[in-house]
Every structure is written in structure tokens, then in C-alpha cells.
Amino acid sequence: MAFEKGFLIGAATAAHQVEGGNIHSDYWAQEHMNHTDFSEPSGDAVDHYNRYAEDIRLMADAGLNAYRFSIEWARIEPQEGCFDEAQIAHYRDVIRTCKAYGIEPIVTLLHFTSPRWLISRGGWESDETPGYFARYTRYVMEHLGSELHYVCTINEANMGIQVAAIAKRYMRQMMAKMQAAGGNGAGKNDDHSGDGTVQMGLNLEKMMANQKAAEKERMEIFGVAKTECFTSPRTPHGDELVMEAHRAARAVIREVAPHVRLGLTLSLHDIQAQPGGEENAKREWAEEFTHYLPALEGDDFLGVQNYTRTRTDADGTMPTPEGAELTQMDYEYYPQALEHVIRRVAQDFKGDLIVTENGIATADDTRRVSFIQEALSGVEACILDGIPVKGYMYWSLMDNFEWQKGYSMTFGLIAVDRATQQRSPKPSLHVLGGFCNTSPRENGQHTPGYHSSDMQAHIDA
């Protein structure tokens, strides 16, 4: 299998999950609460902030031609209205290092974490937030826009809605359990404690138990009892605000850097209706995808992020099938989901598609290799049918901080010993690189004939 010249093959990370020391962010503050929902704090993460050149070199050496990473708003604007030039310079270096290695940088402006001050001002349920996001976007684009070809405004813009749905489902299960204990019969999902349907590391049981005490502590830390972080359960109004933030950022990018191709990314499940579940499946897909279509009009691409399938019957989302192979995240190993989702999305979204995330958390790298091979053969089938898929970013470049689940999940193409921060590429890194035909678009931005070994010499010197 070979992708066309210019097809982007790469890996993705998010600043907070890999950089380390993101002290001005809302997540950092929550990780350090006494009543935290996190199993451990992010700490130094995998020190990508200091080791990005080594990580980019490893990608280039394996043959990858794209790197999707995020810029950390809390570093750029640690206090409201105070922008930090040194941090912009840092990200400029990251971008230029990518280019020197022949790697196309794909930048995400918001990947879940926000500055702590934003949460004190009402966070992602406040009408002021789209304006703050647009101002931050303007600053970044004025300084870095000329260096970039691809920008994702917001990562998984639908995550808050998914978290709200799963929290509701979890409450229902808890109620059913309580009723069962009182002799009223159990709910059908009772024995299924791992809910593999939300696409990030959440620790729901711990979350619920901690709620009350945490409220008090939040008041002390953020000045609000209810913190509205990006991944908090979203109200419909908050969902609108996220789209407003996207539209505002799009307008800024069009004005400041009109050459940039932009889009947002969505977490999309391969929702499969079982007999009787057709209506539920349709409703879930509308919530996850179709109701966003008007807000996406005017975007250049959509970032598709998929990890597995879900099955839906008349009662809603079903547990994973009996005997199914599960990943570390507790959801089903099902690489075919990506092809299904791309085909479904392409029925309604007519712009380009970039797979901005797809991956598996497993200790067994041979399963990762199979996952990548199967997922990419699905992508190829879509392209052969004329669907404009322009790239594939595996999640993730390195084993990293999986949010509330801490460092327990290993999604990476590269293992990291956090005691020494030593990197060890896994065979899957090279397998992924093998799918790449070319270095990125020949657009004059890259130095022709500049190979990673040249860059290594430059670093070593």
C-alpha cells in the first residue's frame, strides 16, 4: 500500500500531555488539589518542552512527514492579557525544527487545557470565552501564522457534550445499582464497570465521590465552585460557545494568515445501530457530528478522531461485546471503525478530511502494528473511492499523560522511561513511517535535500 505524494503521515501529541511543567493551566491546578480526580499529576510529563528536537528527529528518522502538536494557551497568556514572547519563540523553534527535518507542522490552538484565569472567569460556559480565545488566536497567528500551513482551532470540540452524556449514563447506572441493592432489580449495564465509550482517560467513580469536598476547594483555588473546564460536562449553551469560539478563531486566521488551511477536530465513534437501536444511533450521531455542520461551513478540512466503535440498541449505548479484545482504555480493539467513520462523515462534510487522531493504548506493540495497518488500509479504501483524505496522524508519538488516568496508558510509538526521560522507539514507529511516500508538500517552505542526518549533524555540532 502506498499513499500519494504529499499525503501526510505523522503522529500527534498535545502540549499538556507531553511538555511538562504547564503550571499556569487549569489542569495543573486540578491535578494538585487535595480532592483531585487525577490518579497522578502531569509533573515533568515526558519533558518534550526541552526534548522536542530529539523527538522530531526520531519521527524524521522513521520516515514520518507530519507532526501534529498543540500550543499551550496557558504558556502564551499566563495572566489575562499578558502575552509571553519567550513562549512564542519556543513554539517558533518547534515549528522550524519540524521544517528542517522535512516534517509538516500541524498546530492545534486548544487541546483541552486552558489558562487557569479563564476558568476563574467562567471558563467554557461564559459568553466572554470566545472573545478571549479569538484574542489569543490573533496573538499566535500574528507571530507564527506565516510559518504554518495547517491549524486546528479546537481539539475534539464535541468532548464536553460526550462527557455530559457519559456522566448522565453513569448516574443512571448508579441509580440502577442502588435500586438493585434495595431489591428493585438491576439495570442492564450493571456488571459493566468500564465504560469504553468516552474518548479520553476519565476516572468517573473517583470523580463523583470527590464532588462535594472538591467544590469547596475549587472555590478557594479558582474563585468558583463549579469549574467549567473544556472537558467538563457541557450544556447546550456551552456547546454553542465552543462553536462561537471556533468561528471567531476562523475569522481571525482568515484575516491574519489567509494562506493557512484550518479546521477543528471531532471525536467520532463508529456508532453501529443494532436492531431496534436505529433511532438512538441517529440521535447520537446528530449529537456527536451532524449538528455541528453549520459551524463547519467555511472550514478547509475536518479533523477526524476515532478510536473504536460503539453499538446502540433501543436502550442506548451497549456494553462492549462479550469476549471482545479490549485495549488498556477498556474499549474494543476495532481498527475498522476509522474507515466506517470517514465514509459516514464524507456523506455530509464536503471539504478535505485529515485523520488527526487514531490509535490504541496497549503494552503489546504487535497489536499496535496490526491496528495501524488495518486502519490505514481502511483509509486507502476511502481514498480509492474518491474521499479526500489528506493525512493520518497516529495518537500518540510517545507514551504520555493520559489525563485523569495519568501515565498508565501506553498509546505511544515511542516508549519513555520517565526516570531518565530516555526514548525508545517501538517497531510501530517504523511501520508507520513505512507508509509514507514523500516528504511534505513541495511548496518552497522546506529546504530541498535537507535530510534528518544533516539536522542531526547540526544538533551534534
With CB under 6 A as the contact rule, the residue among 65, 199, 280, 428 that binds ligand BGC is 199
Q: Is residue 302 involved in binding ligand BGC (CB under 6 A)?
A: no
Which position among 25, 36, 97, 155 is part of the footprint of ligand BGC (CB under 6 A)? 155
User: Which of these, 104, 85, 110, 134, lies nearest to 392 by C-alpha position?
Assistant: 104
Question: CB of residue 236 vs ligand BGC: minimum separation in angstroms?
Answer: 21
Choose the binding region for ligand BGC from 45-53, 196-204, 213-221, 316-324 (rule: CB under 6 A). Answer: 196-204
Which string of DSSP letters, residue by residue, matches 33-54?
Answer: STT-S-SS--TTTT-HHHHHHH
Contact set for ligand BGC, span 358-417 (CB under 6 A): 395, 402
Least Å from the CB of residue 201 to ligand BGC: 6
C-beta of residue 255 within 8 angstroms of C-beta of residue 141? no
Using only the alpha carbons of the chain, give its radius of gyration.
21
Q: Where are the beta strands (DSSP E) in 300-365?
A: 301-305, 309-313, 316-317, 352-357
The span from the CA of 365 to the CA of 125, in Å, is 40
Site string for ligand BGC, 264-293 (x = CB under 6 A): ---x--------------------------
Give 227 or 231: the residue with its C-beta nearer to ligand BGC. Answer: 231
Does 357 engage in binding with ligand BGC (CB under 6 A)?
A: yes
Distance CA(24)–CA(350), nearest Å, equals: 39
**Contact (Cβ atoms closer than 8 angstroms) between residue 50 and residue 88:** no
CB of 393 to ligand BGC, least distance (A): 11
Question: Among the candidate windows 56-64, 195-203, 238-246, 376-384, which touches ligand BGC by CB under 6 A?
Answer: 195-203
CB atoms within 10 A of CB 457: 10
Measured from the CB atom, is 37 or 402 closer to ligand BGC? 402
Sign, Cα dihedral of 440, 442, 446, 450: positive
For residues 68 and 393, is the Cβ–Cβ distance under 8 A? yes
Tell me how far, at minimum, the Cβ of 155 lies from ligand BGC, in Å.
Answer: 5
Span of 178-186, 197-205, 223-231, 373-381 interacting with ligand BGC by CB under 6 A? 197-205
Q: Which residue is nearest to ligand BGC (CB)?
A: 199
State which of positions 72-111 bind ligand BGC (CB under 6 A).
none
Nearest C-alpha neighbor of 319 from the set 203, 192, 202: 192
* Cis amide prior to 232 (ω within 30 degrees): no
Instruction: Report the residue from 200, 204, 302, 304 that binds ligand BGC according to the rule CB under 6 A.
Output: 200
Give the nearer residue to ligand BGC in terms of CB position, either 277 or 412: 412
Closer CB to ligand BGC, residue 151 or residue 257? 151
Shortest CB 230 distance to ligand BGC, Å? 11
Among 104, 156, 239, 270, binds ligand BGC (CB under 6 A): 156
Report if residue 201 touches ligand BGC, rule: CB under 6 A: yes
Q: Is 329 exposed, middle or buried (0-12, 13-18, 19+ CB in 10 A)?
A: buried
Q: Which residues are CB-contacts of 408 (< 8 A; sequence separation ≥ 6)?
A: 39, 328, 402
Q: Which range binds ligand BGC by CB under 6 A, 98-106, 183-191, 199-207, 336-344?
A: 199-207
DSSP letters for 379-392: HHHHHHTT--EEEE
> DSSP 3-state assignment of 459?
helix
Amino acid sitting at position 337: A
| Binds ligand BGC (CB under 6 A): choice among 14, 154, 253, 397 | 14
Strands 316-317 and 104-110: unpaired
Is 232 near ligand BGC (CB under 6 A)? Answer: no
Q: Residue 206 in 3-state DSSP?
A: helix
Piece of 114-122, 198-206, 289-297, 368-376 that binds ligand BGC (CB under 6 A): 198-206
- Residue closer to ligand BGC by CB (options 268, 436) is 268
Q: Identify residues 248-267 at the interface with ligand BGC (CB under 6 A).
A: 267
- How many residues touch ligand BGC under the rule CB under 6 A: the total is 10
- The catalytic site residues sit at 156
Work out whether the CA dihedral 13, 19, 20, 26 comes out positive or negative: negative
Is residue 349 a contact partner of residue 387, using CB atoms and an 8 Å limit? no
**Residues in the site for ligand BGC, rule: CB under 6 A?**
14, 155-156, 199-201, 267, 357, 395, 402
